A and B are shown apart, each in its own frame.
Chain A
């Protein structure tokens, strides 16, 4: 009976968390129109731009290196098997399709979750702990519009851009492998890549990356807003933000992949 009660309580907690996340997503989506340049409030777009630079530009080196590593690993692992069947050139298709559809968005999301999701949580958590969020409320300034919306907008702009870069670096790593094993030139490699991938793959990959950016920003902000206590609570919220957003990103990836499969898009 106690197990049942505990499972039920846990389920209700998770459900309430997802509910809170959905409400927060809706509020920040509505507020993000007031962050846009020209039509939005003054100063908001500059805040969003600073976030875009922080997530995107500063995250690029790590994403580039990791994507190249993953691209190379995929090429080596698949190449070792495919060589036995004399189908080494299929490595190109696997790397290209794998990255545009799956690995590019996923590697990007995991890196952004670790770098920026945790930063969102720590920043907002500290603001809660030092009453800055309360101060905003007492000044009749909506914290969702002032703090969350610029971060959310920045995430859904920066994450797809980083995903494109991740695709690029991953695919180029495959080119390095092919050159090392078969002396294949870059031009020929890119021709094979162009044959292998469809615009649809790139589009679905970017669609996923927008969803991943949404998850990372919303979870990071929510964990920050739920901080109660001092620095220790901020630390816990940071860890929780990374764990939960990575978990939800992989879950969402599965749902997207299943949905695309059912719709015949993969």
Chain B
């Protein structure tokens, strides 16, 4: 029974698999039976013993078997009730064969009954008593019939005596057998429960051990961090005290001795000043380290041309290099460096640190800077011809307050934090910094910065955590509307109008600044002139959609045309995205609802596109005219189209001019115009606002459709809401 090994793992299974009925050993049974047979056969054949006495003994032995087994502590030899009954049945048969028929019945009736009686399984006392009484009645009946007349009462007495003996022996045996079975079941159940519990405990212990290990690990780590912090603090304290001592000493000296030479005074003041700057430099650097470490540095991530950063840094350190007679050279690949995404000031700080170190530790020769794009990152290397770095110092130099040449007299001064700061900055940018050096042959400090691969999401910032401004935006009481329009007057007019209605407005004249404002202020709605997206029509749009925070920002597309001769005109009745498809085309026409059945005029420079549109419209029963940009006005006047499709990619400002002319001409001003654009208006958060097609005056209610949309998206203005 090595259950320990068998079910060491799975608990639920163990509950069943654990139950193994402890069967009575067949060998012991066999032995007992043989013994009995030998004993009985001897008596049977010789006729020596009285069958009565012999069977009394055998019966007693059989019935007391279980008790005896328990008494000698061999519980695994216990017999189940039915086994015992079979034993007794065998004895009964043998007894019958030996000629003691009546006595066999007399002796076996009762135990036989209560062994095979209905109460056998449950071992209920009531059943037992019932069997007992039945047995008595049976015995009386048998004895009465057999020995009527001769010693009847003596036989009855004898029977009762026998019965009492057997009952006395049998009762506890039977009860015990039930008890034993229950005990055995219990044992089995408790064994399997024990194993299940044991397994559960084992598992729990393992889990606890794992948790404990993790905690120990975390504790160790925290302890290390704590030790590092303490070390840092003590180093900072040491580093601060040194310049402070100088400042204090020299100041007191000057206060103590009033008769100092002017030269000495100047020398001391110079030292005080120098040490003060050292102190403030140190404090700044310490704060930098602390901020970088806690991740609380404000970063302004923009596209950075590292070439420019390198050149600027070189310029600022030129005098220092020149003083030592060192030459700095920067080799840049032709066509400039690929842009990286980063904080320009921080990257400049790294560059200045590295150059500063290179100059400090180089006494002759020069400093060479190389930079090149490699796969997904930019590699910058600053090589000097200084004394080099011991191999064992290569990692240590990036540690706080580690100074190369600690054992070299007259070591250069610095905060001892430059490389630490540089390392942290580079790592925050997702890059790597290291040094390659050979003693006596100079060192090369290298770092990498990931390239800007068009992703506008800040790579190392928690994306789910909204910046403070967004949280602030949630609390602000007024809605923000970002107005993006190239035309200054249009933009101002719109903003003024919206401000009047109680909105906060932001203005941007190009996609780039618009994008920054959108990121920063998280406006509720963007109103954008379709052509204010800049050279790349879709830059603003894509830029907004790429960032998770602004991806769902609603954009209202408008087409305002400001013409000095005719005032502000809102001129477009719909938009069509390229490539034009039949469904969108029909829908746009339906929305623009031309008043009559005149031809539809297509003004496009793309002849193929114009032909396609003509075909599409032709199959729908429309007549179509086509015109070039230059002859568009003429054609419209002549043909009086019911609708005009205008290509927005006409060269320069010509579509605006065309539109302005169409709108200022009484003959064409009432014709609806649909603008064909590169911009996708399929985006479900983009809505092209269809505006009126009447000649527009600045204060007319024609702005209403736009305002209606804004109200829908950004709520009513604060003035109205209040």
The answer to whether A and B belong to the same complex is no
